[in-house]
């Protein structure tokens, strides 16, 4: 698996890696889900979507070691593009989830305005959990 720096990355404060033609940028700055989404859009990127087991594996293998190196991310995880869609009555990236990797007891739809974060479980695995979208977390942007 090739992981090299992305062209035109987001600056020295963020770590960007290219994996299988996708550029992933881990942003340590903590923002609400909406502000994180806007931040990614500023760089012509989007918040991370995990639509397949292959992407989940890439995120776990390549990005989680970076996340684990930053204490707050290790404890609370990082935002993804997942959010509860009231119209579809379910969680979605841009369309309903077909692949899921929730922690036991998740998703928690009992919280107000839930968004999806990915939380390191170990150096090589990460699971999904929910948190209110107005909480401030680091995040991962991606661009194909």
| Within-domain flag for 6 | no
List of the chain residues with pLDDT < 50: 1-2
| Within-domain flag for 60 | yes
Chain mean position to CA 61: 14
Q: Give pTM, 2 decimals.
A: 0.85
* pLDDT of the residue at 1: 38
| Within-domain flag for 70 | yes
| Within-domain flag for 4 | no
Q: Report the candidate in 70, 49, 48, 82 with the shortest Cα–Cα distance to residue 120.
A: 70
| Within-domain flag for 92 | yes
Q: List, as own/partner pairs, every contact residues 72-77 make where C-beta atoms lie below 8 angstroms and the sequence separation is at least 24, other chains included.
A: 72/30, 72/138, 73/28, 73/120, 73/137, 73/138, 74/120, 76/117, 76/119, 76/131, 76/137, 77/117, 77/118, 77/119, 77/120, 77/126, 77/129, 77/131, 77/137
Domain interval for residue 53: 11-143
Lookup result for tokens 């700055």: 29
| Within-domain flag for 128 | yes
Reported as a single tens digit per residue, the pLDDT across 65-76 is: 776 676 656 668
The tally of domains found in the chain comes to 1
Domain with residue 106: its CATH number is: 3.10.100.10
* pLDDT of the residue at 71: 60
| Within-domain flag for 2 | no
Cα–Cα distance, 15 to 90 (Å, whole number): 31
* pLDDT of the residue at 26: 87
| Within-domain flag for 127 | yes
């Amino acid at each position: 698996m090739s992981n090299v720096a992305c062209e035109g990355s987001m600056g020295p404060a963020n770590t960007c890696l290219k994996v299988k033609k996708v550029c992933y940028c881990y942003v340590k700055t903590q923002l609400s889900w909406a502000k994180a989404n806007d931040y990614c859009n500023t760089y012509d990127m989007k918040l991370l979507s995990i639509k397949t087991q292959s992407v989940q594996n890439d995120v776990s293998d390549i990005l989680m070691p970076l996340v684990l190196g930053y204490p707050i991310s290790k404890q609370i995880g990082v935002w993804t593009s997942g959010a509860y869609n009231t119209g579809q009555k379910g969680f979605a990236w841009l369309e309903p989830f077909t692949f899921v990797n929730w922690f036991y007891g998740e998703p928690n739809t009992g919280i107000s305005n839930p968004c999806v974060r990915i939380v390191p479980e170990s150096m090589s695995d990460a699971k999904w959990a929910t948190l209110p979208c107005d909480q401030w977390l680091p995040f991962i942007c991606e661009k194909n």
